[in-house]
Each structure stands twice: as C-alpha cells, then as structure tokens.
Amino acid sequence: MTRRPFLRAVAAAALSVSFAQPALAQAPAFPTKPLKFVVPFPAGSATDNVARIVAQAMGEALGQSVAVDNKPGANGILGAEQVKSAPADGYTLLVTTSTTQAANVSLYKKLSYDPVKDFTPIGKIGLTGFVLMVRPDFPAANLKDFLTYAKANPGKLSFGHGSAGSLVSGALLNKMGGIQATSVAYKGIPPALTDLIGGSLQYAFADVGNAVAQMKGGKLKGLAVTTPRRASRAPEVPTIAEAGLPGYEVVAWFGLMAPANLPADVHKKLSDTLMAVLAKPEVREKIAGAGVDPDPQDAAALARTIDVEIKRWAQWVKDAGIQPE
C-alpha cells in the first residue's frame, strides 16, 4: 500500500471510531423500564409487606416503578423458579426469605433450584420471628398451659404453617414440648390464620407483623414468640425459651436476589440503591411497623449469611424431626 492510500485508510478508521464513541457514551443507564419484585408468598404475608415497602422506596430512588408480583406455592419454590428462569438483566428480582434461600435445602430431597448458584445476592433487608397464636377461647393463658393441654389431648390438635419458619416453629415445639399435633400446609401464613380464626385449626405460628394485627383486633391471642429476645412490637409476649423451653429459637429473614450472572454494573446499582433506601429513617420505620427488624446487609454480606443460614436451618430441621419430602 502506498503512503497516500494508507493515510486515507487510517483517517477513515479514526473517523469511524469517533462516530462509535458518542454512540457508546449515550447508551442509557440501568434502569430504563419498570422492574418487578416476585414475592413467593401471598398478599398480606410478611414477605409481601416488606416487598411493597422496599419496592416503593427503590422505585423512587431508581426513577422507575417497581411492580410486586405474588407467586405463592410450594413453600416459595414457584416464585424462586420464576426468578431463576428470568433474564439476568436486573428487571426481575426475588424478594427472598430464609425459607426459599436456606431452609428448603433441608426440607426437600430434590430442590428444583440451587439457592446459591442460581441467584445473585443484592442485599439483606431484615429479620422476624413467629408468635404462637391461638383463638381467644383456647383453654391456655400461657405456654405452660398450652403444653399441658396439648399433652392431655395427644394427636387431637392441628397447626397451620405457610412457610419454613412457621413449619419448623411448630415441629420444634412438638419435639421440645413433648406434644403430638398434626401440621397442615398452606400457601402462606394469612390463609392459615383465616382457618385458625374459623376454628378448623387449634394453633399456628404467625410472623410478628401478622400476629400483632390479629392480637390488636382481638381475633387471636399470642402465647409466646420464637426469637431469643422479645419482639419490639409485642413486648408483652414472652419468648418460648423464657416461657419454659430453654434453647428454643427460630428466626427468619428477608432479602433481595436476582438471577445468576447479573452484569456487574447493574448488580452494583441495585445493591447500592437497596442499601441507600434501607438507611432512610422513614423506610426503616415502615419496615419495623410491619413487624420486621431492619437488618441491612450488602450483597457480599448476604452471600455469607446464606451460606451460614443453610447450615443453621439444616440443624433446626433436624432438631425438629422433620423428614425431607
């Protein structure tokens, strides 16, 4: 190639690069459209309540609306599967819990998703416990009375559960309290409470938020809570450990996850935004009002938490005597 044609070729190449650079620089930043939070439990559940608070706050921060899509069923598995199969672009996220991301590993012989490999952690949101709930006319004023009555009526009581936390809470009480009761599965805690109020169940374990609402309404009474310390929204309710079963403890948590292989820039934007909104006093107040103790953790910390929690729930499931399905 002669010198003149060569120079023309170099100039043309430089010109093409100069046109390409503005095009790349003008690529729209994430997000450019509405997002969706998949909630693996029904409307009115603790997960749903938390999801709606965080969705509104993150939507305002990101400049896009965030829709909440309830996908209840199979102990949270249906919702987890939906997000696992979604495009890894940051627009479909899972408002996860210790049920879907930790306990299910031990509750099922074959799980249709891997809680670690199939998801990208965005951040942890908060913690909650469960309250032992009975009807106002149940012949027990406290945990001791409850256990005495249950032992006098072996096999005659049934309890409803709609999450791993409520199931393990009930099974662990049976084991440590020396009682026999039948468990009845629901898609979430709210429908279990409906049947408890109606009289087809004798007791249930409800997340603190739902429990407080029912206690204030006078429809149900709370006998004890599963956390190691009394719940801030129900300080009058003793812990199960202090009420007569030392060592008893069940604590659930909530977080935000995306499908695996999320682009790094999108991951950072989502995690930073979640941490920013969870630092706002008004958001923390709303979460606490829903019966959940705010406990923000960034993506890396949530990944470590999940690893620890899988082992922790495996021990609780074993201690409760639950056989995997």
Q: What is the pLDDT of residues 30-80, one digit of tens each?
A: 999 999 999 999 999 999 999 999 999 999 999 999 999 999 999 999 999
End-to-end CA distance of the chain: 74
Question: How large is the angle between the packed helices 299-319 and 164-177, nearest 10 degrees?
Answer: 40
Kindly tell me the burial class for residue 233, based on how many C-beta atoms sit within 10 Å of its own C-beta (0-12, 13-18, 19 or more). buried
Q: Is 147 helix (H, G, I), strand (E, B) or coil?
A: helix
Question: Cα–Cα distances in Å, from 297 out to 25, 60, 161, 275?
Answer: 32, 21, 28, 7
> What is the pTM for the complete model shown?
0.86
The rounded distance, in Å, linking the Cα atoms of 304 and 155 is 40
Please tell me the predicted confidence (pLDDT) of residue 9. 47
Please tell me the predicted confidence (pLDDT) of residue 28. 80
The rounded distance, in Å, linking the Cα atoms of 121 and 300 is 7
Return the residue matching tokens 């910390």: 301
Question: Cα–Cα distances in Å, from 264 out to 40, 59, 123, 144, 235?
Answer: 25, 20, 15, 53, 43
Please tell me the predicted confidence (pLDDT) of residue 22. 47
Q: Which residues of the chain have pLDDT under 70?
A: 1-27
Please tell me the predicted confidence (pLDDT) of residue 26. 56
